[in-house]
Structure 1
Amino acid sequence: MMQFERDKEQGNELYRQGLYSDAIRCYDRLIAAQPQNPVGHSNKAMALIKLGEHAQAIEVCQQGLQLAAAPQHAALRAKLLYRLELAQAAVAPLRIPVVEVDELPAGFDQS
């Protein structure tokens, strides 16, 4: 088995165990070994999302999407797009609905 595959399997096992920071180190090795392969980016993005590192996950997804343009990467591209949506939703500002009222509730300061 190639070192890339060993690192990927090790990273995936660490991810399954909830050891996301350790998994990221494995995925970083994937990216360093094969910088044009989007697999490392996809896996790293999901681990970052699990750690709550959404802004960094967005960057990693965008890098991976640039690499996943070829037709053979269609499934991986779909994963990256989904992970990008997850990360973006997590950093989106909270939207509070505005409700119009004709009168203020009793005791509300009208100044």
Structure 2
Amino acid sequence: MAGNMTSFEKDKQQGNALFKQGLYLEAVDSYDRLIAAQPQNPVGYSNKAMALIKLGEHAQAIQACQQGLQHASTTTTPDHVTIRAKLQYRLELSQAAAAPVQIPVVEVDELPQGYDRS
């Protein structure tokens, strides 16, 4: 079986092994090879997005998810339905992480008890 493995599958396995080792940057390189080999296959984009999320590269992860979703929407195979769900989830994670943190500022005229140290 290993002899019949495509370069796509080899790069996917290599990327996944690197990812599991915490070598996210190297995993991104493997997933980039997946995308170059099969740009219409959303798997490479999905895996790349997860590695980018781990690297804190949320803007790039958003882009990878959006590209993957474009390709995942063109087919209805069960695998692509699952990949589409993963891409959507990872897109939402990345968008939330990339959003600026907004801390509400509340004006108070009086300090709460315990803060009066005069």
Give the fraction of aligned pairs with identical amino acids, expressed as a percent: 69
2:89 corresponds to which letter in structure 1?
Y
Q: Which of 59, 71, 77 is the matching residue for 2:76?
A: 71
Q: How many residues align?
A: 106
Q: Give me the whole-angstrom Cα distance separating, in 1, the residues matched to 2:26 and 2:44.
A: 14
TM-score of the pair, normalised by structure 1: 0.89
2:21 corresponds to which letter in structure 1?
Q
CA-atom RMSD in angstroms: 1.5
Residue number in structure 1 paired with 2:102: 95
Is 1:80 the counterpart of 2:84? The answer is no
Deviation at 1:104, TM superposition (A): 4.6
Is 1:41 the counterpart of 2:48? The answer is no
Q: Which string of whole-angstrom CA distances, capped at 9 and with x for unpartnered residues, describes residues 30-50 of structure 1?
A: 000001000000000000000
Q: Give me the whole-angstrom Cα distance separating, in 2, the residues matched to 1:96 and 1:87.
A: 19
Q: Give me the whole-angstrom Cα distance separating, in 1, the residues matched to 2:76 and 2:107.
A: 50
Structure 2 counterpart SS, 1:71: coil
Q: Give me the whole-angstrom Cα distance separating, in 1, the residues matched to 2:102 and 2:110.
A: 22
Q: Which string of whole-angstrom CA distances, capped at 9 and with x for unpartnered residues, describes residues 43-92 of structure 1?
A: 00000000010001000100000000121111100000010011111111
Gaps of 5+ in 2: none
